[in-house]
Structure 1
Amino acid sequence: MKPKQLSKIFLLASSVSFWGVMSATAQEIPKQEVQSKSVASGLRNSKSIREIRQISEIEHPQTSAQMLVQSPAPSSDIVQITGVKATSTEKGVEVILQTSIGAQLQITNRSTGNNFIADIPNSQLRLPNGDAFTFRSEKPLAEITEITVINLDANTIRVTVTGEAGLPTVELFDDDTGLVFGVVSAATAMQPPEKPTTQTKPEEPTAQQEPTAQQDEPIELVVTGEQDGYRVPDTSSATRTDTPLRDIPQSIQVIPQQVIKDQQATRLTDVLKNAPGVVVGSRSPRDPLNIIKIRGFDAFSDTLLNGIQDSSISSVGFGSNIERVEVLKGPASVLFGQGGLGGKVNLVTKQPLRDPFYSVETSVGSYNSYSGAIDLSGPLNDSKTVFYRLNASAGTNESFIDFYDQQQYLIAPTLSWQISDRTKLTLEASYSLVEGPYDFGIPAQGSVLPNPNGKIPRNRFLSEPNLNDTSNGALRIGYNFEHRFSENWQARSVFQTYSFRLRRNIVAPFGLQDDLRTIDRGVEDFDYDENAYNLDNYVVAKLTTGSIKHELVAGFNLNQTDTNSKALFNRTTPLDVFNPVYGTATQATVPDFDIKNTIQQLGFYLQDQITVAENLKVLLGGRFDIANQEFQDLLNQTTDFEQAEAFSPRVGIVYQPIKPISLYASYSRSFSQGQYTLGAAPPEPERGTQYEIGVKADLTDRLAATLAFYDLTRTNLPTSDPNDPRLTILVGEQRSRGIEFDISGEILPGWNIIAGYAYTDAVITEDNDLPVGNQLNNVPRHALNLWTTYEIQSGSLKGLGFGLGAFYYGDRQADLDNTVELPSYVRADAAIYYKLDNYRAAINIKNLFDTDYFVSAQNVNRIIPGDPLTIQGTISWQF
């Protein structure tokens, strides 16, 4: 199948998807009638529509689940609860589950002992942007220990009210504000609570409150704006279904918004240091090009944006519009096609909110670092069916490296249209730009190795102040169309395109000369353009075969990437690294290469999540891909075309001996044709195989941990032909085995933690150029990350918080020849912040003890030093 043929298929599929969107928009299903305001408005002033009596007053039928109310049957859709309010009143406390169709919900009583427990089937806690959350209120009344509202599973909400000495008294109401649980104080008569009289901002991202019966003024708490602290209970990127992490046979690490905010992480590599098994690869973390390794293997192009392949996001695009970062460990070819074996990084953007939300933030830090950001969201019409979000930011920073000055810009508008209760269309765009010099580091001899001339200063700049300019820019546009035919059938169409442009005019250092003080250099004028188009259409269906439940995902994916890269290059004047004299370099004039690549992929995939029993789940998946690459050398007038077909299976099983514990095992394969290289494609794609076993534990409803053991093998890697060194053969092999542990969530009220440990044994197992047994470069055997915060929960210092972190990386090899070893290091970070109403002020200190360390190496001539002690102050305001 030639590129032109696949291009026709791509255009046809795009047209089908577009007209599918328009036809579904034109044929809307009328909204169901809900209770009128005239009835609802008098609800709490007359009598409760539904009342949850004390357990002793309820007649228990001979069924496993007792229905406490007789209400209209729920709609075919799962009811979305978009926020939870807890309000103290004169009568006690009322908890409001915000939904306009509260009358459709049914309540199942599962109370026991001192715990009033109400399960609400066919419902889920979902923020307006689609994220799950939980709610907890501690000691709202003298006789009430705690109130919690959680997602019990993918289809059920559980409300729990824990009494101090006995079963609490609870009443139930519904009106146009939502479903209301009235928790009545023992000192008052049982009657409907009054409506709240005061209210905080609707997007206040708080999950706890401390009202008491003795408070002078009633207060209201609204949970609508962010995820639940440091723990994210579920994700859709790993399976394309809304599945709890505990039910997925795969190690998945989620770094939520709260962690990003607490650490003031401004680079993708800063965020990923919280994920065990993920390390900085062969580039400087100060550059926009985020080269990372997952489980020992390169994952530069293995980046997703909202679950769609987008390799440019690893170069430019991380910023104030990112809500959270997900790391999917292991191969993911079943859903995403070509990719590396170690894993993928998925960046999830902030989505529009139905209620007004505005945020302004500004930061000032060491080395003339200044930045500002705005985050605006809300409805565009009275019915709140069209809503927007706009994120924009700008920043500038210097560095401890001489002549380093970088600027970053981002604007990201998003528009959502809730066409009906069943149909939603989201349009999203962004433009990112990063300008500044390229960081080459310093040679090994004079940094990690001795040099008879002395030690090379860590801040030494080996390029040219006036000839080291890079510009990375990316424009992204896409749509996400979702339609639910019924509770059991839904369809989704996603299209995303981006245009990435890199311009680089630099002087690059090479190796030291024999005197070990003069370094050779070359000058390069490099242009790179990448345009990609990605279309993904799939359906999700819930079926049953007897007592076995199935959740099927079936779809096709079509993408095309066009790249054009060309460069001028020639040698220029060398530089004395101990006594540099700048200004002698000349411009590049000699054509070096001019290459055009066209990469296309068509894939069909099918996945089945099987619930054999409540404690036994099986995941089966497979994907068939047709991938080709046309390589054109425009300087030498040559063309090469390669096409490959690949089948990628995935098998996993989860067994839960008790509900909080999940034991899992999985097998999966990956393939990669080498699509993001500048050279010709190899005749056969690289293949990868993974075996993984592990255990996931919900230690509490707010704290979870994962322990994983894995074995990865990459095959079909190019190496020299022993019979003709000018040729390559695909017999190279690399293996990575390891152990990973991570824990995240809330240990005690106000005390959060995200931590992990990784043991990675990544080695060469077969090669004709490199010694077998050599360690893969930039991969430490041992790595440890720990970050914890505590926020005072009451008293005059309420809102004051502290953060402390430690990050350890063991010895690493600077190159595959294993000739230079980077020493191990420990880096400590700290933070102090204070929140008052809608204001937040923070001071973050990175590398608290000013440790000298080397974070990575591109090769033995480019060892990258880490940042010294830096201080950053941030002030933000939400209104």
Structure 2
Amino acid sequence: MNHFTLPAVLIGLAPAALAMAAEPTPEPTQASPSRAEAPAQLPTVHVTDSAEDRPGLSKATVSGSRTGLATLDLPASLDSVDEQTWQERGDSRMADIIGRTVGMTPLSATSYNSLSFSTRGFTGTNSVGIAEDGIRLGVASTTTPYPANSWGYERVEVLRGPASIVYGTGTTGATANVVRKQPTRETVREVLLGTGSHGTAKLGLGMGGALSDTLTYRLDAYGHRTDGEHDMARASGGKLMSTLRWQPTSALRLELLADVSDEKPARYFGTPTVNGRIVPELLGRNFNTDDSDIRIKDRRVRGRMLYEVNDWLSLSNELYHFKADRYWRNIEAYRYDPAAQTISRGDYLELSHDLEQTGNRLESRIKAGAHQLAVGWEANRARFRYAGNSDSRTVTRPIGDTGIVPWDSPSAMVPRFTTEATTHDFYAEDAWTLSDRWLLLAGLRRDLTDFSRNDLIGSGSFDKTLGGTAWRLGLTHKLSAQTSLYGQVSQGHDPVTNVLTLNLANRDFKLTTARQAEVGIKQQFGEGRGEWTAALYRIEKKDIITRDPNNSQVSVQGGKQHSQGLELSAVTRLSPHWRLEGNYALVDAKYDELIEAGGADRSGKRPPNVARNTANLWAHYTTHSDLGRWQASLGARAVGQRFADNANTATSPGYTVWDAALSWRPGPRSTYRLTVRNLTDKVYTYSAVSNAKASQAYPGEGRRVDLTAELAF
């Protein structure tokens, strides 16, 4: 959400004040004798810090529709979190920011930079997408490590439910769109300094402004390091984000963006569990190899053009190139046998991903009477090269060992296959204002992908074409200027596995199809001091992978699952001192048809790592003194019980984690913040897995104290 600081309000009032001062005083007349005798009275001007309210429903969304609708008018469920909100909460990790929105549960541990979530009954990167400025980020296998942190971004918007009409395949559960800070003519200088528990340190630098009458820029740099709270959990990384904007006329804008990031995450893949529960005496020990390694490097360049042809037509084009180099060498699967007092280690994985993606999106927006249309064509080509070892052994050692072993895999990492996927997406959306109170939103998208795989070892090469059609039809009725009712039906699609890693075993599979029906209400109240939303939905997904009823060793499509639920969110300013924020999600998710290897029928079971109940609550108290502005914040995140397997026999207990923050703002350009995460040092689970090879969990972080300084010049 955008917001105005006090200096901005004063600057905005300055021209009006000057105009009032320059306006000539009327001459006294016979008709107004009192005005000649009484002193001139200027109207009282009340200046408030509107950043405290930050209403979001009235803002135009760039994530829910290509037509630029306000969130209040959008017939879909959408959350928005701005920079000031996540700063007040002490959040900087993108997974935490997204994970506090309604119904979103982060699945990746704090120590590992991968954006994986559960929402509306669906999990992982094949169902919950991540985008930056509306462009889906490159995904190979199940890894989405960028953007790992919030520096350089102004807000995050989360569109829930099938979002294929806007973002393409792989977005049945939701899509989180991260919006960058933009160049401005105003000079900007920002500094973030931070230190904290476990040897944590971070530094962020941001600057922008005008280089000439037509050139502006934005530059953001960030670096961090930590020793971590587990063995071998040291992590470090950094990034540089840059935007150069040339605007020769008010109608034409050209931008060049170049980013680099380099991360070395913690070499930690969780802790053993028994029946889904963390074993306390093993928590903190690392069962990976002592010479393990993880390196993640991303490079991306984009060119953007926006041309306002006239009052009713605008054209935009975005050309981008993305390159990712990633390397892992780890032992990633662990199983604990409490009777034998042994630890079994498997998945001796050494592999590298080399991914390059080049794409272009051409779009036109048209205003025609009561219609606002967006029509576009997006094309991209991704090339993926995979090298890895082949080591399926399991090594069992007594628990009394140190737990850290050297890398001793007999299998060498060699190039194994290359893949290429060329995708063309055609889409159209129409926001039709039927009247002052009714709006109809309709959209259609067709995705076509030509895929080829070239096996460098063996004979698994093949070609394949994948196609999917997405659509949505939504209706919004405004009961008043502040209240909207909406309903929508939509269809999206997900791959059964990541497209770039298709192999012979799944080459005959098509995209899964998901259909959703949703109704909801959105309302602002108290003259903009608060707002709330509610949504009811049902999603049915078919063609998930199951087993042939006549041969349980053969995988086929034909499985089904569904989810239905309720989502509530609200923010209100109770007084000049108190603000409350909260959300709650209830999810009923089940497999309708699913047979596993061996013939076990999992119909009626809940999918792994899906909680029936999740909730977030924040209370902020703000006061002012001669020393400046003070704010105390207390927050809680609650996640209900989940299962670690399809059989629903391994249970991860629910949890509630409390966080607190205290900030001091001595002036408009500096804020000092003390944050305590996990106040009670609760032991809890981000996500868990339980199968024949592994029974382990990613634990949540323990108590942590951070101190940061946010400065502007």
TM-score by structure 1 length? 0.72
| Distance in 2 (alpha carbons) for counterparts of 1:388 and 1:814 | 47
Match of 2:118 in 1: 293
Tell me the distance in 2 between the aligned counterparts of 1:187 and 1:369.
Answer: 65
Is 1:457 the counterpart of 2:282? The answer is: yes
Residue 499 (1) aligns with residue 499 (2) = no
CA distance in 2, matches of 1:171, 1:641: 75
Look up the SS of the partner of 1:318 in the other structure.
Answer: coil
Asked whether 1:487 is paired with 2:321, we answer: no
1:606 is the counterpart of 2:434: no
Is the partner of 1:269 in helix, strand or coil? helix
Q: Is the 8 A contact 1:274 1:754 kept in 2?
A: no
Alignment match of 1:743 (pick from 560, 563, 570): 570
Secondary structure at 1:246's aligned position in 2?
coil
> Given the alignment of the two structures, is residue 589 of structure 1 paired with residue 411 of structure 2, yes or no?
yes
Match status 1:409 vs 2:231: no
CA contact (8 A) 1:521 1:573 kept: yes
Change (3 A) 1:798 1:192: closer
Aligned to 2:73: 247
Amino acid at match of 2:109: S
The answer to whether the aligner puts 1:310 opposite 2:137 as a matched pair is yes
Give the counterpart letter for 1:684 in structure 2. Answer: K
CA 1:747/1:458 → structure 2, altered by over 3 Å: closer, same or farther? same
Choose between structure 1 and 2 for higher RCO, CA contacts under 8 A separated by at least 6 residues. Answer: 2
Q: Choose which of 182, 197, 208 in structure 2 pairs with 1:377.
A: 208
Deviation at 1:331, TM superposition (A): 1.2
Per mean C-alpha deviation after superposition, the further-off stretch among 675-684 and 665-674 is 675-684
Deviation string, structure 1 residues 465-524 (Cα, Å, up to 9, x no partner): 3x2210111111102211111222111111222111210111233334572423233432
| TM-fit CA distance, 1:403 | 2.1
Counterpart amino acid of 2:340? D
2:216 aligns to what? Answer: 387
The answer for the alignment partner of 2:31 in structure 1 is none
Q: Which has the larger radius of gyration?
A: 1
1:435 aligns to what? 264
Over 3 Å counting, the alpha-carbon distance change for 1:87 and 1:810 in structure 2 is closer
1:202-601 equivalent positions in 2, closer than 5 A:
209=47, 229=54, 231=56, 233-281=59-107, 283-300=108-125, 302-312=129-139, 314-319=144-149, 320-381=151-212, 383=213, 385-445=214-274, 448=277, 455-465=280-290, 467-512=291-336, 515-544=340-369, 549-570=370-391, 571=393, 573-580=395-402, 582-590=404-412, 594-601=416-423
* Inter-CA distance 510–299: structure 2 relative to 1 (3 Å threshold): closer
Distance 1:552 1:727 in 2: 46
1:189 corresponding residue in structure 2: 40
CA shift for structure 1 position 449: 7.0
Number of aligned residues? 676
| Shift in alpha-carbon separation, 1:709–1:173, aligned structure 2, 3 A | farther
> Quick check: 1:667 aligned with 2:493?
no
| Corresponding position of 2:712 | 878
Aligned to 2:501: 678
Match of 2:470 in 1: 648
Asked if residue 696 in structure 1 is aligned to residue 517 in structure 2, the reply is no
The one of 824, 833, 840 aligned to 2:654 = 824
User: In 2, Cα distance between the equivalents of 1:862 and 1:353?
Assistant: 48
Q: In 1, distance between residues paired with 2:275 and 2:341?
A: 9
Aligned-pair CA distance for 1:85? 5.2
* Mapped contact 1:595–1:678 kept (Cα < 8 A): no
SS in 2 for 1:613: coil
Structure 2: give runs of 5+ residues left out of the alignment: 25-34
Structure 2 residue matching 1:806: 3-state secondary structure:
strand
| Counterpart code for 1:490 | S
Against the structure 1 CA distance between its residues 316 and 605, is the aligned structure 2 distance closer, same or farther, given a 3 Å change threshold?
closer
Deviations 1:10-37 (A, max 9, x none): xxxxxxxxxxxxxxxxxxxxxxxxxxxx
| 1:729 and 2:550 correspond | no
Identity fraction in percent: 22
Structure 1 residue 625, shift from structure 2 partner: 2.2
Give distance in 1, aligned partners of 2:227 and 2:201. 10
What does residue 759 of structure 1 align with? Answer: 586
1:702 Cα deviation after fit: 3.8
Change (3 A) 1:646 1:522: closer
Q: CA deviation at 1:439?
A: 2.2
Cα–Cα, structure 1 residues 590 and 243, in superposed 2: closer, same or farther, change >3 Å? same
Please say if residues 55 and 531 of structure 2, whose CA atoms lie closer than 8 Å, have aligned partners that are also in contact: no
Deviation of the 1:407 alpha carbon: 0.2
- 1:824 is displaced (CA, Å) by 1.0
What letter matches 1:479 in structure 2? Answer: G
Q: Residues of 2 paired with 1:404 and 1:324: CA distance?
A: 29
Residues 407-443 of structure 1 show CA distances to partners (whole Å, capped at 9, x for unaligned) of 0201111111112011111211211111033322122
1:401 deviates by 1.1
Distance 2:399 2:414 in 1: 27
Q: CA deviation at 1:447?
A: 7.3
Deviations 1:138-194 (A, max 9, x none): xxxxxxxxxxxxxxxxxxxxxxxxxxxxxxxx89989xxxxxxxxx9x98526899x
**Aligned residue number for residue 638 of structure 1:** 460
For residue 249 of structure 1, what is the amino acid of its counterpart?
P
Does the residue aligned with 2:86 lie in a helix, a strand or coil? helix
Q: State the 1:876 CA deviation.
A: 2.0
Q: 1:765 to 1:424 in 2, by over 3 A?
A: same
**Gaps in structure 1 of 5+ consecutive residues:** 1-80, 103-169, 175-183, 194-206, 211-220
CA contact (8 A) 1:86 1:96 kept: no
Cα pair distance change 1:436/1:336, threshold 3 Å: closer
Pair 614,447 (structure 1): closer, same or farther in 2 beyond 3 Å: closer
1:31-79 Cα distance to aligned partner (Å, 9 max, x none): xxxxxxxxxxxxxxxxxxxxxxxxxxxxxxxxxxxxxxxxxxxxxxxxx
- Secondary structure, in 3 states, of the residue corresponding to 1:399? coil
Deviations 1:821-877 (A, max 9, x none): 111111000000001222210000000111122221143512122111100000121
Inter-CA distance 727–387: structure 2 relative to 1 (3 Å threshold): same
Report which stretch shifted further, 678-687 or 321-330.
678-687
CA deviations 1:316-348 (Å, max 9, x no partner) are 323311211111111122222222311111011
- Change in Cα spacing, 1:646 to 1:290, as seen in structure 2 (3 Å) is closer
Given the alignment, which residue of 850, 856, 859 partners 2:687?
A: 856
- Take 1:534 and 1:554, find their aligned partners in 2: how far apart are those partners? 17
- Pairwise CA distance, 1:95: 5.6
3-state SS in 2 of match to 1:244: coil
> What amino acid sits opposite 1:505 in the alignment?
R
The C-alpha deviation readout for 1:790-815, integer Å capped at 9, x for no partner, is 221x4425411111101111100112
Partner residue of 1:782 out of 607, 613, 628: 613
SS where residue 606 of structure 2 aligns?
coil
Q: How far apart, CA to CA, are the structure 2 residues paired with 1:208 and 1:577?
A: 68
Give the stretch that moved more between structures: 554-563 or 824-833. Answer: 554-563
Conserved 8 A contact 1:298-1:340: no
Give the CA deviation at 1:583.
4.0
Aligned to 2:231, what secondary structure does the other structure show?
coil
Distance in 2, matches of 1:662 and 1:856, equals: 36
Alignment deviations for residues 746-793 of structure 1 (CA, whole Å, 9 cap, x no partner): 44335333321000111111112241011111111011101232221x
